[in-house]
Amino acid sequence: MLKVLSDYLSLGFTHVLPLGFDHILFILCLFFLNSNVRSVVLQCTVFTIAHSITLGLTTANIILPPSVWVEALIAFSIVIAAVENILHSQLSRWRLLIVFIFGLVHGMGFATALSEIGMPAQHFFAALLAFNVGVELGQIAIILLAWFGLAKWLHQKPWYKTRIVYPLSSLMACIALYWTIQRLGLIG
């Protein structure tokens, strides 16, 4: 049992860092709306609750969404979050609802990754919980890296939004839009 917990905790973490480039971009989008760590952790908690629901349902084969659409929607969620960073500067209730919905989609994507690895039948819930904790720890690591590597030193500067948030959010939106189109099979 301890080996299962350790293995799936590690899998959850590495699925985010360093392997989850789309997940890293999504968390950074959450971070750049408002670099207040409390605000970002609130968004990540809402996201984690949502992805835990669909991760469990999809991994248990209760829902079986087409992976092409899930992967495209994951990429498109990054586009929307990045564009919202440009249009808004404060966390709203709508943002939390949007993050929750996107968490539902991302959970189905996590399930695809877990289905490739497989889940231990005897310790299904323990493995699922450990994977989620690993994902959450990976998200927290991204938040802390972004905070200490950038925002702590620059977020109070009058040019922070125009020189840091807007260009990075624009770049993330462009990358994610390309992924969306690519994952839909519209380009090679």
Residues 6 or more apart from 117 whose CB is under 8 A from it? 11
User: Is-contact 41 141, C-beta < 8 A?
Assistant: no
Report the distance separating Cα 142 and Cα 72, nearest Å.
Answer: 23
pTM, rounded to two decimals: 0.90
Q: What's residue 80's pLDDT?
A: 95
CA angle 80, 72, 104 (to 5 degrees): 70
Q: What's residue 188's pLDDT?
A: 67
Name the band, by pLDDT with cuts 50, 70 and 90, for residue 36. Answer: confident
Name the band, by pLDDT with cuts 50, 70 and 90, for residue 37. Answer: confident
Report the distance separating Cα 47 and Cα 138, nearest Å.
Answer: 13
Amino acid letter, 44:
C
On the question of pLDDT at 113 being above 80, the answer is no
Name the band, by pLDDT with cuts 50, 70 and 90, for residue 56. Answer: confident
- Judged by DSSP in three states, 140 sits in helix
Q: What's residue 119's pLDDT?
A: 80
Report the distance separating Cα 186 and Cα 72, nearest Å.
Answer: 11
When mean pLDDT is compared across 34-43, 149-158, 166-175, the lowest value belongs to 34-43
Question: Across the chain, what does the average pLDDT equal?
Answer: 90
| DSSP 8-state assignment for residue 35 | -
Q: What is the percent of the chain with per-residue pLDDT over 70, rounded to a whole number?
A: 99
On the question of pLDDT at 73 being above 90, the answer is yes
